[in-house]
Structure 1
Amino acid sequence: MPHDKDPRPANDQHIWAGLAFGFVGCAIFAGSLPATRLAVSAFDPVLVTAGRAAIAGLMSVGLLALRRQAWPGLRLWGQLVIVAIGVVVGFPLFSAYAVQLVPASHGIVFVGLLPLMTATAAVLRGGERPKPLFWLFAIGGGLIIMAYALIQGWRDGHDLRLQPADFDMLLAVLLCGLGYAEGAVLARRLGSWQVICWALVLSLPVMLPLFVWLWLETGESLAHVAEAGPGPLLGFAYVCLFSMFIGFFFWYHGLKLGGIARVGQLQLIQGFLGFGLAALILGETVPPSALIAVGLIVCCILGARKFA
C-alpha cells in the first residue's frame, strides 16, 4: 500500500506509475453507477449512501489504527470536510436518487462532465487564472449535457425540459469534482490513501447512527435482504468496498504521482467503461446519442485542459 509524503518532482517513472494507478481507479469507479442502480432497486437511496459511508468508515478506522497514522493537523480538517461533502455524501446520495428514475447509461453521460468539473474545481481552489477559451469549452460541455438530457427526456415522452434526475446528476458531478480536486491537493500532505480514510472517519459519527436508524426505521430485516436477491446485495457490497474505499486508494495515489491535469484525463474513458458495464450487468441498451454526447464532451474537455 503506497504511503508517499515527499512532494518530489514528477519524472517519467512517476508519471507512468500515476497513469497506471489512475487507470485502475477509473475502472473501479466506472462500476459505481451500475452497482448503485442495483442497490437502490431494493434499498432506499439514503440508506445506501449512509451504509456505504458507515461500512467504509469502519474499515478506515481499522486501517488507520493498524498503520498507526497520526491525526491530521487542525488546519487540514476543513479541507477534509470538503472531500467528505463531495465524495462521501454528495455524489453517492444524488447519483443514487438519479438512477432510481433513469437508466445508469443516462447518468453515465453526466459523469462525462466529471473531468471538466474536476479541472474547474482545481482552477478555483488552486487560484490559477485560465485563459478565456477554457471557460468557452467548459460552457460548451455543459450545453452538450443539457441538450442531451432535454432531447432524451423528450424521446422518453416527457416535456422538453430537464427532469429531476438530471438535476440530481448535475449536482452529484459538481460535488464529486470538488471532492476529487480537494483530495488530490490533500494527498500531497497526508498521503494518498489516508485522504479518503480520514474523510470517512470524519463522516462516521453522522453516517453510522444514520445508517442504523434508517435500517430500523424502514423495517429492514435479514429476511428482506434475502428476498432482495444477490443483485442488490452485490451492488451494495461493491459501492461499500470498491467505490467508497479501494478505488480512492488508486485514484488519489495516481493524481499525486502523475499530476491532477495529466492523470485526470483518464476520466475521459470512464464513461465508455461505464456504458459497457451498464450493458453487461444491467442489460441496458446504450443509445447512439449517448456515445455521440460523450464524444463531444471529450473534445470540450481536451480543449479546456489545453487552455487551463
Structure 2
Amino acid sequence: MNNAPQQRENLGLWLGLLGVFIFGLTLPMTRLATGTVDAPQMSPWFVTWARAALAGGLSLAYLLAVRAPRPTAAQRGPLLLSLAGNVIGYPLLLGWALRHVTASHAAVITALLPLATAAAAAWLMHQRARLGFWVFAALGSALVAVYSLLRASQMDNGASQGFGLTWADTLLVGAVLAASLGYVAGAKVTASLGAEKVISWVCVMALPITLPGAWLTWPEQTIAPLSWLALLYVGVFSMWAGFFAWFRGLSLGGPLRVSQLQLLQPFISIVAAVPLLGESLDGMTLGFALLVVATVFMGRRMANTPKTH
C-alpha cells in the first residue's frame, strides 16, 4: 500500500502548523520590539522598515539562488499593492497600536483577518459569496466592536492615559484591512509567480524604501537586547520564513485542510504573550477570541461555497 499521499498531507499539516505558530508569535514579538508608552523601545517606524529590510536581504539571496525571472509589467502592479499593504501598512499600524494595547487584546481584533481577506477577495476579484458569508462577516465585526467598547470602559494593562482603546482599535482594524488587501493583491499573481516568489519579490521591491527608512529611523537611545531579538524574529520569520512554511504546507496538505489551522493563530498569540510579555489570561479576552474565531470558521465555509444560479 502506497502511503506517499498520506505522508504528503501530514507533512503539509505540520508545515502549516509551523507557519501558523510563527505568525502567532508576531504580535507579542512586535510589542517586545516597540515597547509600551511607559517603556518605549524601537519606534514603530523603525520596526516596520527594519523588519522588511531584513526580509528583503534574505529574499534577494533566495531569488538569486533560484534564478527567478523578474516580474512582468502586469505583475508589478499587484506586487506594489501587496507591498503597500503587507510590508508598510500592516506592520506600521500594528506597531503603533501595540504600544498602547496588549498583544492579547490585539489578537482578538486581528482574528478577523481571514474573514477580511475573503471579503476583499469577493469584492476585488468579483467572487460571489453566499449571503451567509456576509452575515457572519457582519457578526464577527460586531463582536470585535463590542469587545472594543467593553475594553474601552476599563483600563487595560496596556492602555495609557490620553490615548484610548478606541483609537488603538482603529489602528488594528486599519492593519487588518491593509493586510487583507495586500494578500488579495498578492494572490492575483501567485499562480504565475509562485507563492514563495511573491513574498520575496514584494520584500525586494521594497528595499529602496525600507533600507533608507531603517537608516533614517535608527534608534538613538539604548535598546534592550530582547527587543533586538524580537526585531530579528519579525524580520526573518514573521516577514519571510513563515510564508515559506505556510505556502508549502498549503501546497502539500491542501488549502481546505491546512487553511483551517489559521484559526489557532489568535490563541497562539494570547498564550505566547503570557511568558513573553507577562500578560495574564482573562476570560473575556479568551471568550471573545473564541466567538470571533467561530464566526471566521463559519464565514470561511460560506466563502468556499459560492452562490451559483
After TM superposition, the score normalised by the length of structure 1 is 0.87
1:273 is aligned to 268
Picking from 250, 254, 270, the partner of 2:245 is 250
Deviations 1:7-53 (A, max 9, x none): xxxx8666554433322111101111111111112111001101111
Q: What is aligned with 1:231?
A: 226
- Identity across aligned pairs (percent)? 38
Q: Identify if the C-alpha distance between structure 1 residues 114 and 262 changes in structure 2 by more than 3 Å, giving closer, same or farther.
A: farther
The structural deviation recorded for 1:301 is 1.4
Letter in 2 for 1:53: A
Q: For 1:99-248, what aligned pairs fall within 5 Å after superposition? A: 99-156=98-155, 163-215=166-218, 220=220, 224=221, 227-248=222-243
CA spacing shift, 1:175–1:46, aligned 2, 3 Å: same
CA distance 1:73–1:302, shift in 2 (3 Å): same
Q: What's the CA shift for 1:213?
A: 1.6
Instruction: Tell me the TM-score normalised to structure 2 length.
Output: 0.86
Candidates 37, 57, 79, aligned match of 2:31 = 37
Tell me how far apart the structure 2 counterparts of residues 78 and 258 of structure 1 sit (CA, whole Å): 30
More deviation, 76-85/252-261: 252-261
Instruction: Using the TM superposition, give the Cα deviation of residue 185 of structure 1 relative to its aligned residue in structure 2, in angstroms.
Output: 4.5
The equivalent residue for 1:24 is 18
Secondary structure at 1:307 match in 2: helix
CA separation of 1:118 and 1:136: change in aligned 2, threshold 3 A = same
Contact 2:151 2:165 in 1 (8 A): no
CA deviation after TM superposition for structure 1 residue 102, in Å: 0.8
Shift of residue 106 of structure 1?
Answer: 0.7
Instruction: Provide the residue aligned with 1:8 in structure 2.
Output: none
Aligned to 1:53: 52
* Cα pair 1:184 1:252 within 8 Å, conserved: no
CA distance in 2, matches of 1:180, 1:255: 15
Partner-residue secondary structure (3-state), 2:244: helix
Contact 2:108 2:292 in 1 (8 A): no
CA contact (8 A) 2:30 2:95 kept: yes
Q: Which is worse superposed, 231-240 or 57-66?
A: 57-66
Q: Is the 8 A contact 1:115 1:264 kept in 2?
A: no
- Give the match's secondary structure for 2:98: helix
- Residue 245 of structure 1 deviates from its aligned partner by 1.1
- CA-to-aligned-CA distance 1:113-157 (integer Å, 9 cap, x gap): 112112222323432211111101000000000100110110218
Instruction: Check 1:74–1:20 CA distance in 2 against 1; reply closer, same or farther (3 A cut).
Output: farther
Higher helix share: 1
User: Is the contact between residue 100 and residue 165 of structure 2 (CA under 8 Å) also seen in structure 1?
Assistant: no
Q: What residue identity is the alignment partner of 1:55?
A: L
Three-state SS of the structure 1 residue aligned to 2:99 is helix
Kept in 2, the 8 Å contact 1:187–1:253? The answer is no
Count of aligned pairs between the two proteins: 289
CA contact (8 A) 2:263 2:297 kept: no
Q: Deviations over 1:80-131 (max 9, x none)?
A: 1122122211111110000001111111111211121122223234322111
Unaligned runs of 5+ in 1: 1-10
Question: What SS does the corresponding residue of 1:285 show, helix, strand or coil?
Answer: coil
Measured in 2, the distance between the counterparts of 1:255 and 1:140 equals 28
Q: Does 1:300 align with 2:300?
A: no
From the superposition, tell whether residues 263 and 82 of structure 1 become closer, same or farther in structure 2 (CA, over 3 Å). farther
The alpha-carbon deviation at position 187 of structure 1 amounts to: 2.8
Per the TM alignment, residue 186 of structure 1 is displaced from its structure 2 partner at its CA by 2.9
Q: Using the alignment, how far apart are the partners of 1:35 and 1:67 within structure 2?
A: 30
SS at match of 1:163: helix
Gaps of 5+ in 2: 36-40, 304-309
- The one-letter code sitting in structure 2 at the alignment partner of 1:129 is R
Return the alpha-carbon distance in structure 1 between the equivalents of residues 117 and 7 of structure 2.
24
